[in-house]
Amino acid sequence: MAKKFTDEEIAIILERLEQLHPDSVCELNYRTPFELLVAVILSAQCTDKRVNQVTEKLFKIYNTPSDFAQLSEEELRPYIFSCGFYRNKARNIISASCDILEKFGGEVPGDIQSLMTLAGVGKKTANVVYSVAFGGQAIAVDTHVLRLSNRIGFCDSDNPLKVEKALSQIIPEEKWSHTHHLLIHHGRYTCAARNPDCGNCNICEFCEFFNKK
Ligand code: SF4
């Protein structure tokens, strides 16, 4: 069962996380919505640091949908090999590029439903691109957001869509995108999967995991 939080408690938790992680923004490097889309596809099961190393070189050579649509998977794979799952990622990046050219006139669409029609783009990727590149409000649920939401007690589910729904019901809409970044940063730098650093966490009193320990 998820814990019940009052609006005031949610506000305090978000304020405390902001104090702990004041620089919570997307850590992927990009210059255009398309570059962000490629970076997010590459970031599945990979660190942002590694993706940034790969895209720094890749985007100097290829950085538009037409560039990638003309590549074969075999040509793209060596550039993205170190991100892991490179076969699927190469296929998805090329297919999404073709979709953008054919269905959206070469521009990355700026709404979640259209983004999700692109090859290899699920709800999480669409939410990240929508919120980071287009300034929309959305809570992308990655592994950190999922773990933190369950540990704190915002929800009780390992289904990303259910977690997103639960979060969107308790977090004010104007804070959805920033909350996504706060939870990611808290998961990366304080509440790691194996060894949560509860001694340096400032939301212990609200955390279900901590209080059960
Ligand atoms: S108290 Fe511990 S488990 Fe709870 S959010 Fe903080 S670091 Fe994570």
155-196 confidence digits (pLDDT tens) = 999 999 999 999 999 999 999 999 999 999 999 999 999 999
Instruction: Give 33-134's CATH code, choosing from 3.40.50.2300, 3.40.50.720, 1.10.340.30, 3.65.10.10.
Output: 1.10.340.30
Closest Cα to atom 8, ligand 1: which residue? Answer: 191
Domain with CATH 1.10.340.30 in the chain: 33-134
Q: What is the model's pLDDT at position 132?
A: 98
Q: What is the model's pLDDT at position 3?
A: 81
Cα 116 to middle of ligand 1, angstroms: 33
Tell which CATH architecture fits domain 7-21+139-212.
Orthogonal Bundle (1.10)
134-149 confidence digits (pLDDT tens) = 999 999 999 999 999 9
> 213 pLDDT band (50/70/90 cuts)?
confident
Catalytic, out of 124, 156, 162, 213: 124
Cα 87 to middle of ligand 1, angstroms: 36
Cα 194 to middle of ligand 1, angstroms: 11
Q: What is the model's pLDDT at position 2?
A: 81
Regarding pTM above 0.85, the answer is yes
Tell me which of 20, 150, 204 to substitute to probe ligand 1's pocket, judged by most ligand atoms within 8 Å of the beta carbon. 204
Catalytic, out of 3, 142, 156, 165: 142
3 is catalytic: no
91-144 confidence digits (pLDDT tens) = 999 999 999 999 999 999 999 999 999 998 999 999 999 999 999 999 999 999
Domain with CATH 1.10.1670.10 in the chain: 7-21+139-212
Query: What DSSP assignment string belongs to the chain?
Result: -PPP--HHHHHHHHHHHHHH-TT-S--S--SSHHHHHHHHHHTTTS-HHHHHHHHHHHHHH--SHHHHHTS-HHHHHHHHGGGS-HHHHHHHHHHHHHHHHHHHTTS--SSHHHHTTSTT--HHHHHHIIIIIH--------HHHHHHHHHHTS---S-HHHHHHHHHHHS-GGGHHHHHHHHHHHHHHTB-SSSB-GGG-S-GGG-HHHHH-
124 is catalytic: yes
Cα 204 to middle of ligand 1, angstroms: 6
> 28 pLDDT band (50/70/90 cuts)?
very high
